[in-house]
Chains A and B, each alone.
Chain A
Amino acid sequence: MNDEQYRREYGEHLIEQVKSGKMTRRQLLVRASVFGFSATVAGQLLAACGGSSSSSSSASPAATGSAMPAPVMGGTIKVILPPSITDLDPVTIYDQGGIVMISQFCEYLIDLDDTNALKPKLALTWTPNSDASVWTFKLRQGVKFNDGSPFEAADVVASIERLVNPKSGSAALAALAGILSPGGTKATDTSTVTFNLDKPFADFPYLVCASSYNTVMLPRNYAGNWPKHPVGTGPWLLKNYVSKQSATAVKNPTYWGKDASGNQLPYLDQVDWVFVQDESAANLQLQSGAVDLQPQTVYQGAQALFADPSLRVDEYPGTGIREVAFNVTKTPWQNKDLRQAVAYCLDRKAINTALYAGRSNLGYDTFWEPTVFPKSPTPPVRAQDYTKAKQLLTSGGKPNGMDITLTVAKYLENPQLAQLIQAQCKPAGINVTINQISYNAYYAGTNSNTPWLNSAMDITEWGSRPTPGVYAQAMLLPTSTWSSSHWNNPQFASVFNQYMSTSDEATRTKYATQLSQIQQDETPILLAFFITQLRTQKKTVYGVQGPGSFYCDLSMAFMTK
């Protein structure tokens, strides 16, 4: 499919979304302009959507603005969430349960808004030097921790230094590895922090924003044991916490946040959290009215929620993926043609239909995908093509097909994705054997023997990351700590460094085009889609914010009667 066809298809996709009520007209305008359509074209798309307004069942009122009623002060909201596997320790939490909890009470330097764009939170501005190797953050004034101490640069330094110290056991260490080392964070005055990076990194702000979930700001004298002293700058105070069961949060009367009209945030008085692991049990709680909100809803089984008249399911843009990695150090994946052969077996549209009812965005084996990361160059589309797949098999040395193993954890929709890949590879003569293991077994072991980093081909789920650069840093470079593919491409690595060494948009786009092309051609991983997130709430709940997998900002949430 050439560029023109792709643009036409994307335009049609936008129209279809609005017509079926999955997107509002305003969202279409935003997406269209970001994609690069001219105003004229955008207007034509709007006109093609017809005169009827979209149904409100899936549109996010937060985006439409005009559809949202006026905020109501006070009240208690009940929220349902999976339990945290470990105790609440902001430095080491890593699952959704832990992250959503901590982010209620602790805050980040930078937030992400509903479209994954950076939004000032505890930092007001962040400026790079000429080659993005030194970043200067100016902090918000007048913020206090809930223990009364003021939030200042020294707290930022202490928080970040703690994360890059191996002894604290934080996953943030690996995210910042090679970019920020101990000693690199300095307070130049009480409200300015300087980050001296090990190497230029234009996406650095994204590494200290909300999607880097451990980078919350804690007081400089924080000595551990957070559950005993739940300290933070956030809008809520932790009143009660029972592991794996429930928690209660009350509004923080000294919270620094105010809304656009100057009203004190948060609007609500109290949040009651219920921890439920099983998805079907959680859905039943929503349907029976026992809870008001579920920050992230899993697609499988959510069909009942879509159909429930008392609930509203919002979609918001997500960049979460299911990485299907080829371990390029293991047979037969050393050969690029064989990897591409599998890529051409995939019917990505069918996969999207089967797993997400068509609501997610298609991916074409490159992170630079404009429908989810605006400003990305447009990649060529990869459609299912068995002729091409067979050609590639032959040129790859397997003219009669091949037998491969796909390792997958029994988690979310990963088994279904594996079965779809298996079925779609069959006509080309590629026989996939599915090796399904438990979630614990998939991640168990040391880096040199754990299945997720050492299988020949596997599927790993990733929560939303805000830029393609953050993703590439995590799993596509030779130095990446979380690379299931073990891809080592010097050209990609060197262009990536240049991509990260400048903040100039035009230059970055040029490098991005190159990077996207290399990644798609080499196909170290398959990316068939980027997952649109779902959030379920009662029809009386408004103002819940935050994109991505681990985010639930309730500071502006309220409930109408």
Chain B
Amino acid sequence: MDVSGGTLGPDPDLEAEGAELGADPEMLELPAEAATGPSEQDIQANNAALFEQRRQRRYLVRALLRSPTFMVGLVIVLFWVFMALFSTHLTQAPDAIDVAAILKAPSAAHLFGTDDLGRDVLARTMAGARSVLVIAPLATLLALLWGGIIGLVAGFYRGLTDEVIMRLIDVLLALPIIITSILILSLLGKGTAIIIITIGALFTPVVSRTIRSAVIGEREREYVMAARLRGERSAFVMAREILPNITQPIIVEGTIRLGYAVFTAATLSFLGFGLAPPSPDWGLTVATEHIFLQIAPWTVLFPAAALASLVVGVNLITDGLGRVFSK
């Protein structure tokens, strides 16, 4: 099943309905072969396979570098990474309050204008990338980790385990995200770590669903059946056989989630559950400055545009990956 660019394909539940007609491999029981060492032929076959894998990877990388979508996205993201690291050396101090220069329009002294405390908007916009680029990727990795484990387990074992897990996932998905995030954040308190954990937890259900679909798709393939006939343990099959073959959908899902993580972090800041002032975080800035939108639009539009550009950049990377992987 091609998951390029999509987070949710046809519902695997319905697929399962259809698959009921087929034989369930778990019912087959064959004696395990006695374990012997790898033969000479095995080693050569292994090396050939590794060589093939490496060649494929190089081909993929070259294809990515040739894809304009991917490259534009990459440039944008790298620009913001650079800004997150070095902007304070290049711009004015983002925290410098100047009460004489409140809400001034863009000028030579302040290229992006000033905010309601006289701080330079350009400096704050560039520095605002830092918090987002720390929170979003880490939250996404957490979601991939937790969602990956759940999805693997549910998708591989099927049966009752799968049903129970998916119903629990349904419960979590049925709850409005706003409510759950407010509740969790009010409970856990403040801090960057808490926000990362919260967003990671919020995305875990959706990620687990996607991974589970991918695992179900792979599960019926010959190499999996071969591994199980060989008598390999389930954990081994999941980790060493299935996982490497679903890296593509995982990567795509990860980049999609990354875009949403950026967006969600900004929204949580808007609702008052984010970082503390005087952080130049984009979400926090838009939340604080949106009441000035009519008289000083630059205070809102630049951080919003920065946010938009980062998410677009990440999505372009996703798109590029999707196009390349699906060829």
| Interface residue ranges, A against B (CB under 8 Å) | 279-280, 283, 287, 300-301, 303-304, 307, 350-351, 353-354, 410, 415-416, 418-420, 422-423, 433-438, 441
How far is A353 from B97 in the complex, measured between Cα atoms in Å? Answer: 12
B313 → A minimal CB distance (Å): 29
Would A435 and B97 count as touching, CB distance under 8 A? no
What 4 A-B pairs come out closest when comparing CB atoms?
Answer: A301-B291, A304-B294, A350-B99, A423-B97
Known contacts A304-B295, A423-B95, A354 near B273 by CB under 8 Å: no
Say which residue of A307, A353, A415, A423 sits within 8 Å of B288 (CB atoms): A415
Known contacts A300-B291, A350-B99, A438-B272, A415 near B277 by CB under 8 Å: yes
Would B273 and A303 count as touching, CB distance under 8 A? no
Would B276 and A434 count as touching, CB distance under 8 A? yes
Q: Return chain A residues, CB-CB under 8 Å to B276.
A: 433-436
A302 → B minimal CB distance (Å): 9
Q: Return chain A residues, CB-CB under 8 Å to B162.
A: none
Would A420 and B278 count as touching, CB distance under 8 A? no
Would A300 and B272 count as touching, CB distance under 8 A? no
Say which residue of B277, B295, B296 sits within 8 Å of A418 (CB atoms): B277
Q: Which residues from 261 to 291 on chain B have a C-beta closer than 8 Å to any C-beta of chain A?
A: 272-273, 276-278, 288, 290-291
Would A419 and B117 count as touching, CB distance under 8 A? yes
Say which residue of A279, A301, A416, A434 sits within 8 Å of B117 (CB atoms): A416
- Is B102 part of the contact surface with A, judged by Cβ < 8 Å? yes
- Is B57 part of the contact surface with A, judged by Cβ < 8 Å? no
How far is A420 from B97 in the complex, measured between Cα atoms in Å? Answer: 7
How far is A186 from B97 in the complex, measured between Cα atoms in Å? Answer: 57
How far is A303 from B103 in the complex, measured between Cα atoms in Å? Answer: 10
Q: Return chain A residues, CB-CB under 8 Å to B294.
A: 283, 287, 301, 304
How far is A362 from B159 in the complex, measured between Cα atoms in Å? Answer: 72
Would A419 and B186 count as touching, CB distance under 8 A? no
How far is A304 from B294 in the complex, measured between Cα atoms in Å? Answer: 7
B312 → A minimal CB distance (Å): 26
Say which residue of B116, B186, B190 sits within 8 Å of A300 (CB atoms): B116
- Is B118 part of the contact surface with A, judged by Cβ < 8 Å? yes
Taking chain B's interface residues, is the majority helix, strand, or loop, or is none over half, making it mixed?
loop
Would B99 and A353 count as touching, CB distance under 8 A? yes
How far is A433 from B290 in the complex, measured between Cα atoms in Å? Answer: 24
How far is A419 from B117 in the complex, measured between Cα atoms in Å? Answer: 9
Would B190 and A307 count as touching, CB distance under 8 A? no
For chain B, give the interface size range: 20 to 34
Q: Which residues from 100 to 115 on chain B have a C-beta closer than 8 Å to any C-beta of chain A?
A: 100, 102-103
Offer 29 A-B interface pairs, CB within 8 angstroms, sorted by A. Answer: A279-B291, A280-B290, A280-B291, A300-B116, A300-B292, A301-B291, A301-B292, A303-B103, A303-B295, A303-B296, A304-B294, A304-B295, A307-B295, A351-B99, A353-B99, A353-B100, A353-B102, A354-B97, A354-B118, A415-B288, A416-B117, A418-B277, A419-B97, A419-B278, A420-B97, A420-B99, A433-B276, A435-B190, A438-B273
Inter-chain contact count A-B, CB under 8 Å?
A: 61
Taking chain A's interface residues, is the majority helix, strand, or loop, or is none over half, making it mixed?
helix
How far is A303 from B96 in the complex, measured between Cα atoms in Å? Answer: 23
- Is B75 part of the contact surface with A, judged by Cβ < 8 Å? no
B95 → A minimal CB distance (Å): 7
- Is B293 part of the contact surface with A, judged by Cβ < 8 Å? yes
Q: Return chain B residues, CB-CB under 8 Å to A416.
A: 116-117
How far is A280 from B97 in the complex, measured between Cα atoms in Å? Answer: 24
Q: Return chain A residues, CB-CB under 8 Å to B278.
A: 419, 422, 434
Additional A-B contact list (4), CB under 8 Å, known A283-B294, A434-B277: A280-B290, A351-B99, A420-B99, A423-B95
How far is A418 from B95 in the complex, measured between Cα atoms in Å? Answer: 13
Closest residue of chain A to B103, judged by CB?
A: A303
How far is A441 from B273 in the complex, measured between Cα atoms in Å? Answer: 11
How far is A287 from B291 in the complex, measured between Cα atoms in Å? Answer: 14
Closest residue of chain B to A281, judged by CB?
A: B291
A410 → B minimal CB distance (Å): 5
Q: Return chain B residues, CB-CB under 8 Å to A438.
A: 186, 272-273
Q: Return chain A residues, CB-CB under 8 Å to B116.
A: 300, 354, 416
A50 → B minimal CB distance (Å): 25
A394 → B minimal CB distance (Å): 26
Closest residue of chain A to B296, judged by CB?
A: A303
How far is A348 from B263 in the complex, measured between Cα atoms in Å? Answer: 38
Closest residue of chain B to A411, judged by CB?
A: B272
Q: Return chain B residues, CB-CB under 8 Å to A419.
A: 97, 117, 277-278
Closest residue of chain B to A422, judged by CB?
A: B278
Closest residue of chain A to B96, judged by CB?
A: A423
Say which residue of B117, B186, B290 sits within 8 Å of A441 (CB atoms): B186
A251 → B minimal CB distance (Å): 35
**Residue in A300, A351, A433 whose Cβ sees the most chain B Cβ within 10 Å:** A300
Would B272 and A303 count as touching, CB distance under 8 A? no
How far is A433 from B96 in the complex, measured between Cα atoms in Å? Answer: 16
Would B272 and A410 count as touching, CB distance under 8 A? yes
Would B95 and A280 count as touching, CB distance under 8 A? no
Q: Return chain A residues, CB-CB under 8 Å to B103.
A: 303
Would A354 and B272 count as touching, CB distance under 8 A? no
How far is A207 from B248 in the complex, measured between Cα atoms in Å? Answer: 71
Say which residue of B102, B277, B292 sits within 8 Å of A436 (CB atoms): B277
How far is A307 from B296 in the complex, measured between Cα atoms in Å? Answer: 13
Closest residue of chain B to A420, judged by CB?
A: B97
How far is A422 from B291 in the complex, measured between Cα atoms in Å? Answer: 23
A interface footprint on B81-97 (CB within 8 Å = 1, 0 otherwise): 00000000000000111
How far is A416 from B119 in the complex, measured between Cα atoms in Å? Answer: 12
How far is A283 from B291 in the complex, measured between Cα atoms in Å? Answer: 9
A interface footprint on B116-149 (CB within 8 Å = 1, 0 otherwise): 1110000000000000000000000000000000
How far is A283 from B116 in the complex, measured between Cα atoms in Å? Answer: 17
How far is A219 from B292 in the complex, measured between Cα atoms in Å? Answer: 46
Closest residue of chain B to A433, judged by CB?
A: B276
A348 → B minimal CB distance (Å): 11
Would A354 and B117 count as touching, CB distance under 8 A? yes
Q: Return chain A residues, CB-CB under 8 Å to B100.
A: 353
A98 → B minimal CB distance (Å): 22
**Residue in B97, B102, B293, B296 whose Cβ sees the most chain A Cβ within 10 Å:** B97
